Chains A and B, each alone.
Chain A
Amino acid sequence: MTLETLLQVAAGGLLMGLIYALVAAGLSLIFGLMDVVNFAHGELMMLAMYAVFVIWDATGLDPLWQLPVVAGLLFLTGMAIYRGLIARALSVPFNRGMVQIFVTFGLAIFIRGAAQFVWGGEFRAVNHTWLSDRSLNLGGVFLPLPQLAASAVCLAAFAGLLAISRTEFGRALEATREDRDAVALIGIDRDRIFAMGWGLGAGAVGIAGVMLAGFYYVGPNVGASFALIAYVTVALGGFGSMAGALVAGVLIGEVEAFTAVVLEPSLKQIGVFAVYLLVLMFRPRGLFGKL
């Protein structure tokens, strides 16, 4: 293998890894806040991608301009899901862990059915954007602009999440995470914090969906292929850890890319899964998880 090929594969893995990290960030945030794994996370991303397609189809507005709109829509969707379902799932007296798994799982199936009801089963794609089908050529190593933009937005989103954690709201978030019951005593509305957390988590995956729509097809089942990787990313990085999601995302992107080179491409996810299991043997709570 030439050096050029090696660099190209590494670059591809990095760009994809940052997208995995962005998809996983929202999942990790929600989990860290309230111990809930959202099994409808991929479906939220799918909704964001459809939103981009619908707006683009109707107005021709470039996905990049849609970023704030769609992220906002997803923020509201996330809050609504929390208020409508998750708050209830958290207040059940028994089997809380299992109820939340299957409530979000049922929601995922429902959203998939609803997407097919509204948009049909066709694959769709957003074309002719500013960035589409263009690449940066760095001495024979090609960096596709849509993915490059997605990576930049990913890093910006992580910086944004970091900035939020420094604000008063962020401190309230942190306090709620540390001790859910005590925060009520110091006048923090736990329910409101949780709803905001869901809004942020959904907004983050909404951003991922917008960027992805610039170079990936949209269909009712598109969430599923990303969701599995997202769960593995979060567990590998450590549930609730933002830094963990970022590092794990990139690691997974690279392992996937190089497994496809060394073994067969059809086995590339096995490489990812094997690395994940191996890490868990030594760090049962992931790379950055609190032991």
Chain B
Amino acid sequence: MDRRQFIIGAGMLAASTTAARAADEVVIGVVYPLTGNGAAVGLDAKAAYEVAAEIINGTHAPIGVAMGKGGGLDRLGGAKIKLVFADSQNDPQKARAEAERLITQEKAVAIVGSYTSATGATISQVTERYEVPYISADNSSPSLNQRGLKWFFRTGPHDEMFTKGMFDFLADVAKKTGKPAKSVALFYEDSIFGTDSSNVQRKLAAAAGITVAADIRYRASSPSLSTEAQKLKAANADVLLPSSYTSDAILILKAMNEIGYKPKAVLAQAAGFQESAFMQGAGALAEGVMSRSSFALDADKLRPAIPVVNGLYKAHNNKDMNDNTSREITALLTLADAINRAGSAKPDAIRAALVATDIPGSQTIMPWAGVKFDETGQNTLCNPVIQQVFDGVYKTVWPFDLAAKDVVWNVGG
């Protein structure tokens, strides 16, 4: 079937992005799950990238982030960033095909994505073959940057860095309060995310001399988690370490509450726990829950750009930025900064500029030391923070010098 005929036939003229495009546009492909499981996160990501593009392209007062002065890419004659979104449906095959389509048909000079690690795996193989950069904003599997890929760059932390942050926090809080966590309970879904996360947690717990009192791999999106909650109650560890997406995050808190169990401390591997839907769904049960995050909405003293960018995002998507959306905005700003420094929209020039990237933390919306890639393409300066829920809002409690609130620590006595 002729594709164009098909498009017209189905009345999809609006979606026909193949129309002639002005020469002063730089196309960036964005691949996320926009339907099916993961759609909620993908749709937020779409909004985040649109805001980031607005920051880069729009006319506005300068914002204190890389590419924050607006007006497009000045070293490319004010060329504008144009985003083309594609739906991966969380399917690695689909993600691969869409990345290929974006590169060959939409003439994308770089790809940004993609939330789940499985889609990140196939997209990064395509970008490697076609020799265009892939900027991973939020794929957190440590395996991704350890495959010797030349065109892979990750602005955000991976699960090992995140988990190291969580255990550093446990050590710090023990020092501060004199009440160390002696045992943890691992609770993770049977996905690549859950597996990776729990593997690192097991390793770091052993290194820190902390007992693993329960090691529970559960079926994602189960109709019920009541037996799982019962196992956690029986183990009664000092700290519960869940690695779950939104629906299961809500469900396990409810299930534990139903059997009269309140863990002494919950320290989550972000994901579902950082979604606004989690806060709505879990309600009062979320109170006191801790989660690692790569973002701190309340770090506005340190990063004055946060309220400005958050205002833009909120106006666009009617919610605050979170762990994911802030990383996504940062990924696109980093990429645009590299394209601008390259002074060219040629992939190898962009790659060279990405390798040379050195954005100080003060020029980001993140609490990080900055953005600088090592030889595997991993940003080494993106140290995470720990946040805790106070009255339905996450507040940063660690590192202590960034803290907006003192941590509430009910472990030990």
Contact = CB atoms under 8 A, between A and B. Distances in A.
Nearest to A261: B227
Interface string B216-246: 1111011111111011001000000000001
Nearest to A15: B226
B10 to A, nearest CB: 15
B223 A225 contact: yes
A133 B281 contact: no
Interface residues of A, number: 49
Interface string A15-52: 11001100000000000000000000000000000000
A120 B43 contact: yes
Contacts of B42: 121
Contacts of A215: 254, 258
Contacts of A120: 39-40, 43
A226 interface: yes
B283 interface: yes
B226 A219 contact: no
B219 A217 contact: no
A121 B39 contact: yes
Contacts of B230: 5, 8-9, 12, 261
A125 interface: yes
B227 A127 contact: no
B329 interface: no
B217 A122 contact: no
Given A121-B39, A133-B285, A264-B217, A217 B247 contact: yes
A199 B278 CA distance: 34
Contact of A122 (B234, B251, B277, B282): B277
A19 B190 CA distance: 24
A133 B284 contact: yes
Nearest to A17: B224
B217 A121 contact: no
A9 B260 contact: no
A217 B281 contact: yes
B217 A225 contact: no
Given A124-B281, A137-B260, A221 B37 contact: yes
Contacts of A128: 283
Contacts of A59: none
B36 interface: yes
Interface string B31-45: 000011111101100
B195 to A, nearest CB: 10
B410 interface: no
A266 B219 contact: yes
Contacts of B143: none
A226 B258 contact: no
Given A122-B40, A221-B37, 20 more contacts: A1-B234, A2-B234, A16-B223, A116-B39, A125-B250, A125-B280, A125-B282, A133-B254, A144-B258, A215-B254, A215-B258, A217-B246, A224-B221, A225-B222, A225-B223, A229-B223, A257-B227, A265-B227, A268-B227, A269-B222
